[in-house]
Chain A
Amino acid sequence: MELNVLDEEYMTSGHVACPGCGAAIAMRFFLKAVGDKTIIVLPACCWSIIAGPYPQSTVKVPVIHSAFETGGAVASGVRAALDMKGDTETTVVTWAGDGGTFDIGFQALSGAVERNEDFIYVCYDNEAYMNTGIQRSSSTPYGAWTTTTPGDEWKKLRKKNIVEVLVAHRIPYAATANIAFPEDLVRKAKKAQSIKGSKFLHIFASCPTGWRIPSESSIKIARIAVQTNIFPLYEVEDGVKYTINYKPKEFPVSEYFKLQGRFQHLTDEDMKHIQKMVDEDWALLLRKAGERP
C-alpha cells in the first residue's frame, strides 16, 4: 500500500494504548498526513492517557491537554494566538474522542465551527467512554453492550449522526474516515489541512478492550464496518456537496456484529431491525449524494 506520505513518524513507540488500539493507529496516520507544523489540543479522552504521563509525550508535535468540554474553545484560542503571532502555517487540531465530541464537548465544538474557526476537529470514534470504563455515549451504536447499558438494558437508541450535525453548520469540510482505509484517511487529512475554516474529520477507530474483540482483528472489524455500510466513507464540502468515497460490498450487517462481544446478545430479529436502519441511512446518504433520486 502506498500512502503517498513521508516515511517520517511523528509518534514514538512505548505509548500506553491497549494492544491493537485503533485510536493510536488513527493518530499515526493523521500525523503522517499533516506533518509536524501542527499543534494538538487534547480534551479528556483515551488519548490523554496514550500521549503519556508527564514528563513524557508520545507525539513529536506540541500537545495541549485541555478540559473535557473545551476542545473547540481551546483550539479557537490557540488559533487566535498563532494568528496574533502571524503564524498562519501551523495547523491547529483538536483531537477528541466521541464523548468529548458528541456529548461533553459538543457546545464548544458547535460554537467554534459556527464561528468558522480555522482548525481541524478530529473525532476518533470508539463508540463509548472507553478510557473511564466503557460507559455509553451518544455515539454508542444501537444494540451495543456497555457498562452503563448492561445485560438486557443494551442501548436501544440510535447513534447520533455527528457528521450531519456538523454539515448542518455548513462548514467548509466534513468527512468520515476509517483506520482500515489509510489512503483515504491520509488524503482527507491533507485535504482538510489545505482548506481554510472549520474542518471536521470523523475517524472510526476500533477499541479491542471496549468492543470485546480480539486485538488482532481491530483493523478487520473497522474495515467490515465500511463494507457493511455501517460506517460509510464520504465527505461533504460547504455543507452541500456530498461525495461517497467507497462503494462497499454491502455485506449483511451481521458480518460486523457477530465478531464483537459487545453485540453477542443480539437476536436475528434485532439484526433485521438494524439492517433496516443501516439500509435506510445508506439510502438517505445516496440521495444526498445525488446518486439516487
Chain B
Amino acid sequence: MSALLEVEGVETFYGKIQALRGVDLTVERGEIVALIGSNGAGKSTLMMTICGNPPARTGRIRFDGIDITRMRTHDIMRLSISQAPEGRRIFPRMTVLENLQVGAASIGYQHFDEDRDRMFALFPILARRQSQRGGTLSGGEQQMLAIARALMSRPRLLMLDEPSLGLAPLIVRQIFEALGALNKEGLTIFLVEQNAYHALKLAHRAYVMVNGRIAMSGAGRELLAREDVRSAYLHAGR
C-alpha cells in the first residue's frame, strides 16, 4: 500500500518566480509529519500546492493513490483531506456553531451532532462560545475553531498551516496536546510550522525546507537534537 500523501518532484511558480524546486515528501498513515523552515522557504506554498492553488507546474501529488496534481481545490478537499489554513480564516460574522456546520458541508449533516460534540469535548471553550460570532473569539479560540471546523468533514489527513502563529505559549501547548490526542485516535497530520520546537517535539518525522527545497529530513526528536537545526530554527525561541 502506498503512503497516504506522496509529493514527487513538485515545482511551483508564481508567474516567473519559482517557489518550489523539486520537492519530494511522503506522509504515511497515522503519522504526524512536520515541515519547518524560515520565512519564504516555500512551506506554505507547498501546502497550497497540495491543495491545488496554485497547482504544481511539474511533478506529481498523490493522495491515497489518487493523482490530485491537477484537481480543483474543492474536489481535492472532498477526498477526506482537510486544511486549517494560515491565518485561521474562520467566518467572522457567523457563530461558532455555524462555522462548524459549514465545515461539515462537504460530507452532509448526518453525523453533525455527534461530530460537534466530539469537537466540544476536544476544545471545551468552543462549547461555551458556540453562539458567539467567530470574529469575537480570541486568537487561540479562533485557531481551535479553525481546527475543529476542518475536522468536521471527518478527514483522514489534517493539514495545518502555522497553527501556533501569534498565540500565547500556554495556548500553543494546549493545541499541540489536542493534535497529539487526535493522532492517537488514528488521524494523520501534516503540519507546517515556524515554531520548530513544538512541531519537532510532536512530530514523528519532519522535513526542513530551505529555498524551495527539502534540505533535511528525519525523526522529529533527532532533528531537534541536531546542532545546525537548533541554531537555524530555534534561536528565536518559541
Partners in one complex: no
Chain B interfacial positions (CB closer than 8 Å to A): none
Chain A interfacial positions (CB closer than 8 Å to B): none
